[in-house]
Amino acid sequence: MQYTLSNTRGVTMNCITYGGIVTRLDVPDRRGRRADIVLGFGSLNDYEKYNGKIHFGALIGRFANRIADGKFDLDGHTYKLPVNEPPNTLHGGPHGFDEKVWTVVKTFQGTQGAGVQLRYVSPDGENGFPGSLTVDVTYTLTDDNEVRIDYRAKTDKPTVVNLTNHSYFNLAGEGSGNIEEQLIMIAASSYTPTRADSIPTGEISSVENTPLDLRALTPIGARLRSQNQQMRYAHGYDQNWKLNRNGVRNGEPGFAARAYDPSSGRVLDVYTTQPGIQFYTGNGLDGSVTGTSGTSYRQTDGFALETQHFPDSPNRPAFPSTELRPGDEYHEVTVWKIGVR
């Protein structure tokens, strides 16, 4: 089932119940010309065939990013997960939330915007995770050109949760070519260095004098091929930044990142309540899949800004906790604010 959200300023967003996927996001440029700014497929069949690996536009869970060696300890018990990026578990394991059919709880249209609330109930033991987890994700498109994503979850047993959306953006328009001349800024003074397999070492390191210093608007391609070891491990950008948390208060999101396309004038500002953000330059795209416009996607044809808790948090007590217990509610918010300049 597909749902279309629209506002009075010419922005429309399409999402489907399969994977909770954002399939299109049509946005005007500085001259009023509209283009789809997210990568995706033209058919449900292609999402079903490829998205377990690529995750275009999908909701990710139970645990976004990686868990080392496919296991974690909680309350004295070791939970073993299926490994889908040996030797680790990525994005909740095989057949994660991005491949589930979500239930529509409600749709709405009013002063707060147009929206749809989706629900998925993950049974106890699914992919090795404890507890029956009820997840509600609400997409709201406002007349302020904001896409607000509310993530909520409750469990009947102690568990771990880390949810995100995995949209790939190209602010010049889907299928328009690479994003290396587009600019990126991330409001973070530090990041979590990783081993060669993208698992954090446990350190929190300064971005100073590294290609990961994106505190000012920087062309995405400027340092993409740096010989920095972290960039070589990831074959580009695919790291987690520890956000400075500017403006986060009372459960409302603070500024996390900005992307800007000089050619079209489109600007994407990201706000979140989450402590981290994974900036990814589509390093796994190799021309083997064809997108919405009939273009074969390659590395740097899009970028992702995945707001999240840190990778491998269940095995890193010093990282912000991802534990969720009965009686508590997981609630995180991310906002994509769209504009032109």
* Active site (catalytic) residues: 166, 306
Gyration radius of the chain's alpha carbons: 19
CA atoms within 13 A on the CB side of 183: 16
Check whether the bond before 258 is cis (ω within 30° of 0). no
| Cα–Cα nearest to 22, from 276, 292, 289 | 292
| Cα–Cα nearest to 21, from 126, 108, 149, 155 | 149
**H helix or E strand, kind and range, residue 49:** helix 44-54
| Cα–Cα nearest to 69, from 161, 197, 231 | 197
d(CA 186, CA 105): 34
**What residues are designated binding site?**
65-66, 166-168, 238
**What residues are designated binding site for beta-D-galactose?**
65-66, 166-168, 238
Residues with Cβ within 8 Å of residue 170, at least 6 apart in sequence: 37, 38, 39, 176, 179, 182, 301, 302, 303
